[in-house]
Every structure is written in C-alpha cells, then in structure tokens.
Structure 1
Amino acid sequence: MASVTGLDGVVAAETELALVDGQNGYLVYRGYEAKELALKLSFEEVAFLLWHGELPSPEELEAFKTQWVVHRAIPAELKAVLDLLPKESEMMSVLRTAISVLGTGNQQVPAWPPQFDRILANTALLPTIIAYHYRRSQGLQPIEPDPQLDHVANYLYMLTGSVPQSVHAKVLTAYLILAMEHGMNASTFAGRVVLSTQSDLASALCASIGAMKGPLHGGAPSEVLHMLDEIGSKEQSEAWLRKELAAGKRLMGFGHRIYKTSDPRAEALRQLMQELASEDPWFDLAVHVEKVAVELLNEYKPGRKLYVNVEFYAAAVMRAIALPTSLFTPSFTLSRIVGWTAHLLEQASCNRIFRPQSVYIGELPTSIPNRP
C-alpha cells in the first residue's frame, strides 16, 4: 500500500460547504464566490449561509442577530474560571480552556448530534472571551458587549473601549468572512475526526483550536507585518524589495501551497483597500508594495508565478486597526469557528468514523516472513 505523507491529495469527505480551487483561483461558499460575499455582506449573513445553506431574508437576519447578541455575555461560571487563569496565559490556550468549560454544562442536553444553539452560543461568545482575557492581561477593566453593534464592530469595541472607525470594521469584516472556511484544512479535519467518534461539540472544537494553535496552520502573519514596517513608505519599497530578492531571500506574503494563481481572498482585500486607501495610509502602502513586489518577482524569478496571498493583506488589516500580534491567531479563530461548526453539522448528518490506514516500515520479528 502506497503511503501519502500529510494525506496530500487524499479525499476525506464530500462537502457542500466550500470549493477551494487552487489551480483556477476560486473560493466558493455554498455556491457564492467568497470574495463577493466579503465585499457586500456582514459576518452574520455569511455565517447564516454556511450553517443553513442559504442567505437569510431580512426578517431571518434580524431574528438571527437578536439570538447572536443574547449569547455574547460570559456566563458567571466561565468568568470565574477565566479569572483564575494567570494573566500571562497564551490566548489560544485560554480559548481551549473556555470551550472545555462551556462543554461541561447541562448534562440533560444530548452530546450527539451537536446542537445548533450551542454552536451559535460558542461562536457569539468567542470574541467576548478574547477581549476579556486580553484586557485583564493588560491590567485593564473588561468591557461588556454593546448590543447595538454587530459582531465585528463589537469585537473591536470590547478590545479598545471605543466604537471603531467604520472603515476599520468594514475591512476586518471582509477579512474575517474570507477566513471563515477553507476546505479540509488541519483544524477542520481535526474537529471532524473527533466528532466522527460521536464525541461532543466541545471536544471537537478543542481539537480544532489545538490544531489552529500550531504555527504551521494558524500562525500569525507577523513576518509580513515586519516586512511592511521595515519598508515604511511607498518611496522606499522598490529598493527594499530589490535588496531582499538580490540576496536570495523570500518575500513574505507571496506564494501559497494551495493557490497556484492569484489568491481570491487577497483579491477581495486588495479591492477593498484600493477603495479605502485614501482613508488609511497602511492600506495605500500595502496595495503599492504588492504591485511592486509582483513585478520584481517576475523579474527575479521568471516563470514561478508567485502571487500575493491572504496573509499579506491580513497583516495590513491588522496593522491598520492596531491589533496586537498576540491576537492575530485568536482573531482568525473567532472567524474559522463558523467553518468548523458548519463542517461538524455536515459530519453529523452523514457520519462515519475516520479510520485511515498506515504503512508499517519497522523491523519484523524472525517468526514472520518478510512481506513484499
């Protein structure tokens, strides 16, 4: 039996949730191009689409947002646990602990299949948990959710204590929509594997968070941020990039394992930043650096077809809204939980436990003849 390291190219499930077409540069959520959704809709609308298979009517959206707001407050028992954690605790570990605590609730509710009200509660609550622990870690008083703000604007408000600029809420919303779902990635697969055993929602989400915590998956685009900080201005961009390429160094934020053409998520963020460039200098810088970098990559590495990826523009978004680097991966997580839970609902609807094979390459005892 031939082995496939990392399961590259192995189909683990059929899904109606998302198409990730790396050859042609498409990302599709349930029949809609993700980049179009990111430019036009709210976080809540796209979450509804992934969970329910269709976009909400205005009446459904209003009722959905009302449900969402109800679940934002941290339950007293969870707050007591969070207050016991050291203030310096790493955020992804805090999220894993919080989800585990939430999973020890009402034992009268069946653990299988996953219940949608629990899915919505965890999704709505995650930003509050992040903001609560972040402010405690900074010696600041936590801020209660604002029911008048939508999901993304409320997240920024709870972090800073100020209602965010509309331009910042808009571009962060776009990024988080584009980060919601991306096929059978490591964290999604981890969650589906756990749920396939008919384990509970909290256990599956803890597995997904554990995978997301790894730097090869959920690692923050901090290297891109460092590059943009060093470049500093449009006037210095070409000289700085030429120096790096001449030294044989890699430009952070260019090239992607899946996308062999332009990353559609980066395309959407570029379009939005071009529209908003006059309102934020970091958006203007990012768009200019990408243009120069692609031209120079064609010059220094002809035929390689290296394009900008979503991490490049994610770094520009995070820098513009002054989000601390320690919150990059947690912010990615508060978005990707929508995709995880959509996959968990799908897994439960047609469940079969995952049981891949392995190829033994070790020694055999003398009593067993060598196999071909």
Structure 2
Amino acid sequence: MAEPTTASTSTDAAGNGAPQKSRGLEGVTALDTELSFIDGQKGELLYRGYTIEDLAQNASFEETAYLLWKGELPTQSQLDDLNGQLREARQVHPDLLDHLRHHTPKGANPMAAMRTALSMLSAYDDEADVMEPEANYRKAVRLTAKLPTLVAAFDRIRKGKDVIAPTGEGSTAHDFLYQLNGEAPGPAAEEIMDAALVLHAEHGLNASTFTARVIGSTLADMYSAVVGAVGALKGPLHGGANIEVMKTLLELDESGETAQEFVDRKIENKEKIMGIGHRVYKTLDPRATILRNLLSGLSEEKGDTRWLEMSDTIRSTVKERKGLDANVDFYSASVYYLLGIEADLYTPIFAMSRMTGWTAHLLEQWQDNRLIRPRAEYVGARGKTVTPVGDRG
C-alpha cells in the first residue's frame, strides 16, 4: 500500500470541510494500491507482500515483473511463457534504429532519446489504442522487452559501433549487457544486473509513477503514460540522482580530498550530497543495503575497492553528523560503474526496470479508474479591471 498517511481536513469560511494543503503532496494518500508497501521508519519495502530482500535474492527480474503485473509469482510454465514473450518482443522496428542513427544527435541526453523512441514505438503497435486488459498486459510486456534494446542501440550508435540485435535467448539482464557490450556477460555481472532490475522495479507513488497514473486516469494509452513517466524520471531529484552520485565520486577521486573532508565541506556550505536522504525512508533504504553487498563482492572481483571505501566513509560520516542515511542511488552508481556502464545510462537503466512498476500501476489504475484531479488554492490578486491597451504604460 501507499504511505499510510492521509491529509487532515480543515473548515473553510463557508463551513465546508476542505482538504489541508501539503507542500509537494507529502503525507497525502491519493489512492489504494496492492503493488508495494513502504515503511520509512523501519526501512521496509514489500512488492505484493514479499520483502525486497527475498525477491532480490530468490526471484529473477522476469518473475518480479510477472508478480507486479499478475499479483502472484509465476509457476514454471507461466515463467517460461513470459520469457518467450519477452524474448520475441525485444526486436524493434528498423525505423526506430534509423531514427537513432540519423535523426538523434550523438550528444543527445539518453533520457531524451528514450523519451522520443518510446513515443515512436506506439506508431508500430497495432494495439496502441486498444484499452482491453489483455491488450494492455501485452503492451506492458512489449515495453519492458523493447526499452533495453533501445538503450543499448542508442549507446552503440553514439559511439560509432554497430547495433547488436537481441539474441532471443536468456534473461533481460543477460541480453541487455550482451547488446550493450558486444559480448556475453559473466555469471556475476548478469546476477548483479538482474538484482539491480529487481530493486528498481517498483517503489510506490513516486513522481514518475504518479505521473503515469495521472495520465492513465484520463484514459490516455499506455505509451502516453510511460512517456510522461520517463519525463518525470529524467529529473535529477528522481531518476537522475545516481548520475550525480557517480560524478561526485569521480571528482572526489581526482581531487585528492578525503571523503571526510568532502563531507565536512558540503555540510559547512549547506550543500546537498546526492544519494543521501529520502522523502520516505527515515533510516537506511533497504535497497541500498542489498546494493552495498553487491558492490562489495563486485569490488573484490574487479580488484578495485576505492568506490566502496569512499562510499562507506561518506555514508557513515553523514549519518554521524546529520543523521541521514543512504538511498538506492548511493550504491547503484558504483555498481553500474564497475559493470562498465556509462554514467549517463544509469537513468535509462532505471527506466528499464521501473517500466514494470509503471505499467503495473496503469493496469491497476484501469481496474477501477477515476480521473485524478486535485485542486490548487488560488493565492493571486483579485478585483483587477482591464485598462484599454492604449492607456497601459
């Protein structure tokens, strides 16, 4: 369920019960959901009743996607069927690849490129405007399958490399890393990528998910809703945070400044440290714990522990000085970096995973749809009259 807080009511001048304002809608419960539950005080995250720790360790990304879409973990035959659908749907129309090659600047922001490519996908989907539940489920599968192909193709094209077609085999994590790097990933890299996709798949009524549900509540199609979600995720206060985390770590590594000195300077200047603190969690983000453990193993495997050491020092120092803890972005940045992934692809990879959550929320929204239409309190001027244009000066 969403955060279990509701807006209180007050009485306006006419004696009517009116909702109290909440800046940023913080603490406001807008709707009911069965998809995920967050306890910010305990640092707990559930997907449909399963802890994130259990899913990250014992369920694949594909199993997690099925769980979010269908409400239960799949049987083996159901999982085999979903895997078959995902593998078949990974190919994208050649026109989209031509657009990325010839009409997308090499220096384009990857999220801007994905925003356009996802919108274009709808033109090649015969069911784009079909709103029956099964058609929407099939679109959720296709969107989840095709976005990794688009991300990998964009990255290779901008580097002057040939696009690698999906293999039609293996997991989402395996095929994405293969298309991105041109070689099959090792078991550890595939396992870590798969776990990262599970961890980012769903997280309540965050900004991008709320955007998707608002658009969906108008009965706009699924493509319109997820394009809006991508636009929201692009912001540095949402999906772009782990890019800023990695920039910070790289700058710190080159500066010669110690991690403690860095934190002291940031606190003294009252500057935000990206990847630290969360609107919901008042303790350590449970996803950060899992990613920290993945980073530890990957660092040892790569023989490069500096990112782990810097991150741990920053985290412990901020916790001691400010009482704030790490969120999911704090350790995911270093995990992706050690997997050889360009920093500006971190947010598109976030979108690859969160596509399952966005589409699951849309499927839920449309089960009992109501237009989402909050009100704004007018605080502007009153009583003005129009002066003829010639008299205005």
What TM-score results when the alignment is normalised by the length of structure 2? 0.84
Q: CA deviation at 1:135?
A: 1.1
1:34-83 CA distances to partner (integer Å, 9 max, x unpaired)? 12211222111111111111111112111211111000111234334434
SS in 2 for 1:28: strand
Q: Tell me if structure 1 keeps the 8 A contact 2:287–2:328.
A: yes
| In structure 1, distance between residues paired with 2:365 and 2:79 | 25
In structure 2, the CA distance between the partners of 1:96 and 1:245, relative to structure 1 (3 Å rule), is closer
| 1:268 corresponds to 2:290 | yes
1:200 counterpart = 2:221 = yes
Letter in 2 for 1:255: G
Q: Which moved more, 1:323-332 or 1:33-42?
A: 33-42
Match of 1:137 in 2: 158
Corresponding position: 1:104 with 2:126: no
Q: Return the letter of the residue paired with 1:347.
A: Q
Matches of 1:125 and 1:151, distance apart in 2: 10
State the partner residue of 2:67: 49
Q: 2:242 aligns with which of 211, 221, 225?
A: 221
1:147 aligns with 2:168: yes
**TM-score of the superposed pair, with normalisation by structure 1:** 0.89
3-state DSSP class of the match of 1:335? helix
* 1:364 to 1:268, Cα distance in 2 relative to 1, 3 A: same
Letter in 1 for 2:144: T
| Whole-Å separation in 2 of the counterparts to 1:293 and 1:95 | 32
Correspondence for 2:278? 256
Q: Unpaired segments of 5 or more residues in structure 1?
A: 368-372
1:23 aligns with 2:44: no
Distance 1:117 1:108 in 2: 9
Q: Report how far residue 347 of structure 1 moved.
A: 0.2
Read off the aligned partner of 1:79 and give its amino acid letter.
L
Partner Cα distance (1:270, 1:99) in 2: 32
User: Cα gap change, 1:86/1:245 in structure 2, threshold over 3 Å: closer, same or farther?
Assistant: closer
**Post-superposition shift, 1:315?**
1.0
C-alpha deviation, 1:165, in angstroms = 2.3
Percent of counterpart pairs with the same letter?
38
Task: State the distance in 2 between where 1:10 and 1:121 align.
Answer: 33
Whole-Å separation in 2 of the counterparts to 1:76 and 1:139: 17
Correspondent of 2:352 among 304, 314, 334? 334
Q: How many residues align?
A: 360
Q: Decide whether aligned partners of structure 1 residues 285 and 54 sit closer, same or farther in structure 2, where only a CA change above 3 A counts.
A: farther
| 1:175 lines up with 2:196 in the alignment | yes
Match for residue 36 of structure 1 among 36, 40, 54: 54
* Partner residue of 1:76 out of 94, 110, 124: 94
Q: Whole-Å Cα distance in 1 between the matches of residues 109 and 318 of structure 2?
A: 37
Q: Which amino acid aligns with 1:272?
A: L
1:247 alignment partner, one of 265, 281, 295:
265
Corresponding residue number in structure 2 for 1:59: 77
Alpha-carbon shift at residue 84 of structure 1 (Å) = 3.8
Distance (Å, rounded) in 1 between the aligned partners of 2:316 and 2:125:
58
Secondary structure of the structure 1 residue equivalent to 2:57: helix
Q: Supply the distance in 2 between the matched residues of 1:364 and 1:44 (Cα, whole angstroms).
A: 56
- Partner of 1:103, secondary structure, is helix
Q: Contact 1:95 / 1:129 at 8 angstroms: preserved in 2? A: yes
> What's the CA shift for 1:161?
0.4
- Provide closer, same or farther for how the CA distance between residues 358 and 321 of structure 1 changes in structure 2, counting only shifts above 3 A: same
Aligned to 1:370: none
Contact residue 87 and residue 133 of structure 1 kept, 8 A? no
AA in 2 matched with 1:207: G
Amino acid aligned to 1:56:
P
Letter aligned with residue 264 of structure 1:
P
Distance 2:158 2:266 in 1: 40
**Partners of 1:110 and 1:222 in 2: how far apart?**
35
Q: Do the aligned partners of residues 356 and 315 (structure 1) sit closer, same or farther apart at CA in structure 2, a change above 3 Å counting?
A: same
How many angstroms does 1:172 deviate by? 1.9
Alignment of 1:250-329 (within 5 A): 251-282=273-304, 284-297=305-318, 299=320, 301=321, 304-329=322-347
Distance 1:93 1:351, change over 3 A: same
Q: How large is the RMSD of aligned CA atoms in angstroms?
A: 2.4
Contact 1:25–1:264 (8 Å) recurs in 2: yes
Provide Cα deviations, 1:263-294, integer angstroms capped at 9, x if missing partner.
10011112333444431334x44443444344
The one of 198, 216, 232 equivalent to 1:211 is: 232
Residue 105 of structure 1 deviates from its aligned partner by 3.9
Between stretches 198-207 and 86-95, larger displacement belongs to 86-95
Give 1:146 shift.
1.5
Q: Which structure exhibits the higher relative contact order, with contacts defined as CA atoms closer than 8 Å and separated by 6 or more residues?
A: 1
